[in-house]
Amino acid sequence: MIAGMGLLMLVGCAKRPPPPAPAPTANQYRLAIQGTAGLRLDLLLITKPTEGEIERYESEVTVPYTRDFEALKCAVWVDGEFRGQKGQYRMSLTTNGSITSEVDGRVRKGHKTSGVMHDL
């Protein structure tokens, strides 16, 4: 009888598995590039969605430029190539309504320039 009570106590004290983790929530992002109107930049945007694989977006963009998107995390690169152009730009990344990163850059003839921002 005592052995049976010990077994009953062990079964009654078994730990329950922890509840599942809540699903990740996407951030609301806005990428804005201001500066010398007409300045062309090569853009690379890497995003980590709430589900699935990392996404990669590449494009040539013209200042001014704005893009809204959702992701868990992101990284942004811009390059000014040798195109005989010159000008300045300011790139800003807004996360859930607050500016989280800003980068100033200058494109000059004969020089390559790069700007990088991320929310990792």
Rounded Cα gap, residues 40 and 62, in angstroms = 5
Q: Give the model's pLDDT for residue 110.
A: 74
- Cβ–Cβ contacts within 10 Å for residue 8, how many? 10
**Looking at per-residue confidence, does 52 or 9 come out higher?**
52
Q: pLDDT by residue (tens digit) across 59-82?
A: 999 999 999 999 999 999 998 875
Reading the block at residue 44, the tokens are 């690379």
Tell me the residue length of the chain: 120
Reading the block at residue 36, the tokens are 């010398």
Residue ranges per structural domain of the chain: 24-119
